[in-house]
Amino acid sequence: MDALQDRYFADLPCFGCGPANEKGLRLKSYDEGDGTVVATFTPWPEHDNGAGFLNGGIIATVLDCHSGAAVTHKAFAHGWEPLGGALLPFVTAGIDVRYKRPAPLRDSVSLVATISAADESAITAEVRLEHDGKVRAEATALWKRWRPR
């Protein structure tokens, strides 16, 4: 099964999820077929938050990018293609991150995303980062239609 990023945007240079960014995180997200999109992220030693846990900005980045995979997959399923020659059909308009528990730096973490609302102008995703059966961080991400100008 192809990762959604490789299927849709093999040339994307996004820092968090672009397959073409050699210095990026290169997140890989997969459609589970049950309404969820999942990923595994393995932190780098450089992602330290200063206390030996995973940095909050990195957490926000992977939550954002993982929600983007779920949103883009949903958009293409509906036929909401990129407008006017744009690469992406939607972009992040807002992301509300809640840091619930420390996230590990030296173990892989799991990401799970679902779509809670979708129309052609905006898509909302709920996304969480888990480790050892507990939610470490969660977010609501609002994605809006990207219109090149």
Minimum CB distance to ligand DCC, residue 130 (Å): 20
By CB under 6 A, tell whether 135 contacts ligand DCC.
no
Backbone angles phi, psi at 47, to 5 degrees: -90, 20
Comparing CB distances to ligand DCC, the nearer of 12 and 53 is 12
Distance CA(127)–CA(98), nearest Å, equals 11
Distance CA(63)–CA(13), nearest Å, equals 17
Of the candidates 2, 26, 4, 3, the one whose C-alpha atom is nearest the C-alpha of residue 13 is: 26
Minimum CB distance to ligand DCC, residue 13 (Å): 10
By CB under 6 A, tell whether 148 contacts ligand DCC.
yes
By CB under 6 A, tell whether 144 contacts ligand DCC.
yes
The β-bridge partners of 92 are 143
Write the interaction track for ligand DCC spanning residues 66-95; mark x where CB under 6 A is met and - where it is not.
--xx--x---------------x--xxx--
Distance CA(108)–CA(118), nearest Å, equals 30
**DSSP label at residue 86:** -
Work out which of 53, 63, 64, 129 binds ligand DCC, going by CB under 6 A.
64
Distance CA(105)–CA(83), nearest Å, equals 39
Which residues make up the interface to ligand DCC (CB under 6 A)? 4-5, 8-9, 14, 16-17, 64-65, 68-69, 72, 88, 91-93, 144, 146-149
